[in-house]
Amino acid sequence: MNTVLIVDDEAQILKLLSRIIGLEGYQVATASDCRSALKQISRQSPQVVLCDVFLPDGNGVDLIKEIKKTSPHTEIILLTAHGNIPDGVQAIKNGAFDYITKGDDNNRIIPLLARAMEKARMNASPAATEAKSGSRYSFDSIIGRSAAIEQAEALARKVAVTDVPVLLTGETGTGKEVFAQAIHHASGRAKNRFVAVNCSALSHELLESELFGHKAGAFTGALKDKKGLFEEADKGTIFLDEIGEMAVDLQSKLLRVLENGEYMKVGDTKPAKADVRLVAATNRNLKEEIAEGRFREDLFYRISVFQIHLPPLRERAGDIPLLAQYFVGILSKKQARPSPIVTPAFMDMLAGQPWKGNIRELRNVIERSLIVREGDTLDVQDLPLELQLNGHTVTETDEAAGLELAAMEKRHIIRILEYTKGNKTEAARLLKIGLTTLYRKIDKYKISL
């Protein structure tokens, strides 16, 4: 649980901050002095402490040192009065994450808190993380406080401790593999392997070989025996993503594994056995697929013992700021750059998008925005052009606007190409356009790197 400890001797401020932070989905603890704050830290183990400078029995700047002695991975944000810069500077020296001015920086509290929370999570020692959540793939890695996602998480937690098959449904990009990983790592099979395969990414013949393995000489190119993923996942979990794409005759072989644990390697004459827990996922309506003869009804009932539907991002819009801040944190670290301050206008623009690609699309947009940003803020001009337009179109008669749009697009492409060091395939992926389209635009704008 993400816990924030608020330390302030003013009851009204405690009440106000507790409400604001609680509404963001954090668990809130409070203390009115240094002594009670240290007690709360030992009991609650908060990830972030929001602390006033002037307290009845001490100074918040000095308290930072005491907190860091016993809880080095806790992040502290100091509340300074009247923009007291010396206090802020000393706080940073003592190990504070940042400082804000009481009353003047209220719009910074939540974004700053999200970044501090992410840093605390990433800096936690491997041993502590393992003890608390089993691994980085635990349910704690699921970001969101909306009712829809919390309901899905609650169901997943309940089924995780059993051994029954699970079917995850929902649109592409809603986080089905994240849920599958969390289910595995909360199960009794957590010490064994989690193996994932995308059924839509492989041909029928290759998928069968990948799942069940093959014997040497089974087909052209099969020079030696190959283990299948069911064998690799023995005593663990196998995740079959996009199971609705699997060919019908291969479905019958999968059904046999689920019913008696037996499968046949390609080219073998003797069955092999595997003890595997199945988690499957699909963005298709499998009942409609059954009606069309594209999916076996008996397999459907076998894999859907327990179904969990993951909501699209448009149905959990309140989670967009949390997800965005999370991606800003981890992707800034990946790019070896400090996390920027995210402007309210940037967040408002994200909140107004349909997100047809769901969380995956949001992550891609954040990554591109971080690449092109300049300075220490993330603002609207850093967003991809299609989001900046926000549904507005430029008419052919609006020549000036068209020229400006072309100039913006050229700058955007140049920044992405600079980031990828000229790798056009990676640049096309980040720009979400085809490689031939990118080459055409490079030629159109006479871009040279």
Residue 132 lies in a domain: no
Pair (256, 404) in one structural domain: no
Domain containing residue 9: CATH number = 3.40.50.2300
Residue 226 lies in a domain: yes
Pair (296, 419) in one structural domain: no
Residue 65 lies in a domain: yes
State how far the Cα of 189 lies from the Cα of 193, in Å rounded to an integer: 8
Confidence of residue 86 (pLDDT cuts 50, 70, 90): low
Confidence of residue 133 (pLDDT cuts 50, 70, 90): very low
Phi/psi-derived region of residue 221, left when phi > 0, alpha when psi is between -120 and 50, beta in every other case: left
Token pair, residue 30, equals: 């409070």
Looking at 124, 155, 173, the residue that finishes a domain is 124
Pair (223, 328) in one structural domain: no
- CB-based contact 31:6 (threshold 8 Å): yes
Pair (290, 337) in one structural domain: no
pLDDT in tens, 289-339: 999 999 999 999 999 999 999 999 999 988 999 999 989 988 998 888 888
Domain containing residue 436: CATH number = 1.10.8.60
Pair (260, 373) in one structural domain: no
State how far the Cα of 208 lies from the Cα of 206, in Å rounded to an integer: 5
Q: Give the best-scoring range by mean pLDDT among 16-20, 294-298, 374-378, 435-439.
A: 294-298
State how far the Cα of 273 lies from the Cα of 275, in Å rounded to an integer: 7
Amino acid letter, residue 59? N
- Where does 5-146 have alpha helices with state H? 11-23, 34-44, 60-70, 85-94, 106-123, 126-133
CB atoms within 10 A of CB 416: 22
Of the candidates 344, 341, 387, 345, the one whose C-alpha atom is nearest the C-alpha of residue 364 is 387
Beta-carbon contacts of 296 under 8 Å, excluding residues fewer than 6 positions away, are: 248, 251, 252, 255, 290
Looking at 286, 309, 332, the residue that finishes a domain is 309
Residue 366 lies in a domain: yes
Looking at 276, 309, 342, the residue that finishes a domain is 309
pLDDT in tens, 149-164: 999 999 999 999 999 9
pLDDT in tens, 230-245: 999 999 999 999 999 9
Pair (146, 280) in one structural domain: yes
| Chain centroid offset of residue 149 CA | 13
Pair (170, 296) in one structural domain: yes
pLDDT in tens, 395-431: 444 444 455 567 777 888 888 888 888 888 888 888 8
Token pair, residue 441, equals: 């635009």
Pair (147, 280) in one structural domain: yes
- Cα distances from 65 to residues 80, 81, 95, 231, 239, in angstroms, run 17, 20, 7, 52, 46
Q: Helix (H, G, I), strand (E, B), or coil: what is residue 29? A: strand
Domain containing residue 204: CATH number = 3.40.50.300
Residue 134 lies in a domain: no
Pair (8, 100) in one structural domain: yes
Residue 436 lies in a domain: yes
Instruction: Give kind and range of the element (H or E) at residue 206.
Output: helix 204-212
State how far the Cα of 279 lies from the Cα of 425, in Å rounded to an integer: 33
Of the candidates 261, 266, 272, the one whose C-alpha atom is nearest the C-alpha of residue 225 is 266
Phi/psi-derived region of residue 363, left when phi > 0, alpha when psi is between -120 and 50, beta in every other case: alpha
Instruction: Specify the pTM.
Output: 0.63
- CB-based contact 267:215 (threshold 8 Å): yes
Pair (205, 289) in one structural domain: yes
Beta-carbon contacts of 21 under 8 Å, excluding residues fewer than 6 positions away, are: 4, 6, 28, 50, 109, 110, 113
Residue that has been written with the tokens 């996942």 in this structure: 233
State how far the Cα of 339 lies from the Cα of 296, in Å rounded to an integer: 49
- Ranking 82-86, 169-173, 337-341, 411-415 by mean pLDDT, the lowest is 82-86
Residue 129 lies in a domain: no
Percent of all residues in the chain with a pLDDT value above 90, rounded to a whole number: 44
- CB-based contact 164:306 (threshold 8 Å): yes
How many residues are present in the chain? 449
| DSSP secondary structure, 308-334, as one string | EEPPPGGGGGGGHHHHHHHHHHHHHHH
pLDDT of residue 106: 65
Pair (369, 438) in one structural domain: yes
The range of the structural domain enclosing residue 365 comes to 316-444
Pair (164, 293) in one structural domain: yes
The β-bridge relationship of strands 58-59 and 54-55 is antiparallel
Residue 449 lies in a domain: no
Angle 81-83-87 from CA coordinates, rounded to 5°: 75
Q: Helix (H, G, I), strand (E, B), or coil: what is residue 395? A: coil
Overall domain count for the chain: 3
